[in-house]
Amino acid sequence: MSTPETVNARLLVVDDEEGVRTFLADALSDAGYVVAQAADGQAALALLGKTSFHVVLTDLRMPGVDGMALLQTIRRESPDTEVIVLTAHGSIENAVEAMKHGAFDYLQKPISSPAALRLTVARALERHRLRAREEISGPAAEPPLGYGAPAMVPVEQALRKVAVTNATVLLLGESGAGKEVAARAIHRWSPRAAAPFVAVNCAALSPELLESELFGHEKGAFTGAHARQRGRIELAEGGTFFLDEVGELAPNLQAKLLRVLQEKRFERVGGHQTVEANVRWIAATNRNLVEMLQRGGFREDLYHRLAVFPVRMPSLRERREDIAPLAAALLARIAAGLGKPRLTLSEDARRALATAAWPGNVRELANVLERSAILAEGTQITADDLALLPETPGDVTGAGDRETAPQTVSELERVAIERALAATGGNRRRAAARLGIGLRTLYEKLKRYDLG
């Protein structure tokens, strides 16, 4: 998953305990989010009636309109808003029930780690953005995997065929190429479609946290484990479990995952009770797992368990016929999310998008369109409005630039920051907004690249 864009992300914190509410709001404001507060469910509904929010964090137990009632109202009236519920120790079952009613995730109180809080919010925002960009959608408006590009036809045919089976699928391809979109399509086309789809990004958590996230833990398993917590594999019971960035799994977790795939059962961290794992497995990676296993970085037996049905997702460069219709679909959702009128692309903008390199694939296209939509003055986006468009293939590989073109991710990032600062006259807040990152993140990168 990419670094979350905090700019223009609106959050609402709902808790009847002022100290908790203030702590959460301050921790999220420090990360660059715009945060509103409500002391109870009724006040939250009043705010939601006036302003749209990307993510709502709400306590479950409150006087009057409680968190469950608030969640159900949000799911009914603002289905694109993600909800994170806050629950006291000993009330985990209530949180799990809330997730069955559409909550994105839950956090246990007291929340002592701002980092864990921000990570959960970042994941919720990523989910919101995917929904808004039509990479994730409800049954009423299912996004196509492709828009007519020949490269996508055999891919979709293969995914539809494997979807009706219970075979494990390994999705391969560059970052941002749409592997999670494909995983959700497999689930949607499968006999398990009515059951949960649960995703975990293996690169987003430390090995210790990831183990607890996957398998759950028993009370007292480690410091801070005040109550039993069900893992995400349990929450996916009967449905589909998606392991994103599986190439980042630590060796001990590779061994534990192998056992689950083989025996379809596991134990929670610190526990001895066997838990059945009735899930369909889909994994994804942008790493070359064959090279990794040859170097000893990935278990060969696990690789063969995962690669029962491997599918490579084409990069956006391989499906350029899809760029124009995909951009139009993304732009419609982005405009709606920003509260702007319908936005269109001028002919020169479409040409520029069609010839850009897109090293970040669909995710990068969506980011460019979102930044451009924010900057656009009228209802049409022109080539001049396209913010930090990636270099065209000719620019990157042309003979005159071959020696000076950025060759690494760090070099590309440094160049992008330098361009943003130049375009904004050195205004760091505007440069951060142009880049789609938080101001604090920009300061960290300025220090890292010695850009003053």
**Do 124 and 254 lie in a common domain?**
no
Residue 124, judged by CB atoms within 10 A of its CB (0-12, 13-18, 19+), counts as buried
414: CATH: 1.10.8.60
Q: Answer whether residue 409 shows pLDDT above 60.
A: no
80: CATH: 3.40.50.2300
**Do 250 and 389 lie in a common domain?**
no
**Do 326 and 432 lie in a common domain?**
yes
Q: Answer whether residue 134 shows pLDDT above 60.
A: no
How far apart (Å, rounded) are the C-alpha atoms in residues 279 and 234?
9
Q: Answer whether residue 223 shows pLDDT above 80.
A: no
Q: Please report the DSSP string for 90-127 in residue order.
A: T-HHHHHHHHHTT--EEEEES---HHHHHHHHHHHHHH
Q: Which residues contact 434 (CB under 8 A, 6 or more apart)?
A: 371, 375, 387, 388, 420, 423, 424
How far apart (Å, rounded) are the C-alpha atoms in residues 290 and 318?
23
Overall number of domains in the chain? 3
According to DSSP, the residues that pair with 313 across neighbouring strands are none
How far apart (Å, rounded) are the C-alpha atoms in residues 254 and 252?
5
Strands (E), 77-203: 82-88, 105-109, 169-172, 197-201
Tell me whether strands 274-276 and 229-230 are parallel, antiparallel or unpaired: unpaired
**Do 226 and 93 lie in a common domain?**
no
pLDDT band of residue 392 (cuts 50, 70, 90) is: very low
Q: Which of 312, 342, 358 is the last residue of a domain?
A: 312
pLDDT band of residue 118 (cuts 50, 70, 90) is: confident
**C-alpha count within 13 angstroms, C-beta hemisphere, residue 195:** 17
Is 2 among the domain residues?
no
**Do 439 and 344 lie in a common domain?**
yes
Q: Answer whether residue 68 shows pLDDT above 50.
A: yes
**Do 330 and 426 lie in a common domain?**
yes
Taking residues 99-118, what's their average pLDDT? Answer: 80
Amino acid at 87: T
Q: Answer whether residue 92 shows pLDDT above 70.
A: no
Is 144 among the domain residues?
no
Q: Can you give the residue range of the structural domain that contains 75?
A: 10-132
Q: What is the pLDDT of residue 4?
A: 38
Is 370 among the domain residues?
yes
Is 146 among the domain residues?
no
Question: What's the pTM?
Answer: 0.59
165: CATH: 3.40.50.300
Q: Which residues contact 444 (CB under 8 A, 6 or more apart)?
A: none
**Do 303 and 325 lie in a common domain?**
no
Q: Which residues contact 254 (CB under 8 A, 6 or more apart)?
A: 298, 299, 302
Q: What is the pLDDT of residues 16-32, one digit of tens each?
A: 888 889 999 988 988 88
Is 4 among the domain residues?
no
Among the ranges 104-118, 178-192, 216-230, which has the highest mean pLDDT value?
178-192
pLDDT band of residue 224 (cuts 50, 70, 90) is: low
Q: Which of 132, 162, 195 is the last residue of a domain?
A: 132
**Do 169 and 248 lie in a common domain?**
yes
**Do 322 and 293 lie in a common domain?**
no
**Do 281 and 199 lie in a common domain?**
yes
Taking residues 86-114, what's their average pLDDT? Answer: 76
**Do 231 and 365 lie in a common domain?**
no
Is 1 among the domain residues?
no
How far apart (Å, rounded) are the C-alpha atoms in residues 384 and 377?
11
Q: Which of 265, 289, 312 is the last residue of a domain?
A: 312
**Do 334 and 397 lie in a common domain?**
yes
Is 373 among the domain residues?
yes
Q: What is the pLDDT of residue 407?
A: 44
Strand, helix or coil for residue 238: coil
Q: What is the pLDDT of residues 306-324, one digit of tens each?
A: 999 999 999 999 999 999 8
Strands (E), 206-361: 216-217, 229-230, 240-244, 265-267, 274-276, 280-285, 309-312, 344-345
Q: What is the pLDDT of residues 316-358, one digit of tens each?
A: 999 999 998 899 888 888 887 777 778 889 998 898 898 888 8
Considering only CA atoms, give the Rg of the chain: 22
Higher-pLDDT residue of 430, 111: 111
Is 49 among the domain residues?
yes
Q: Answer whether residue 431 shows pLDDT above 60.
A: yes
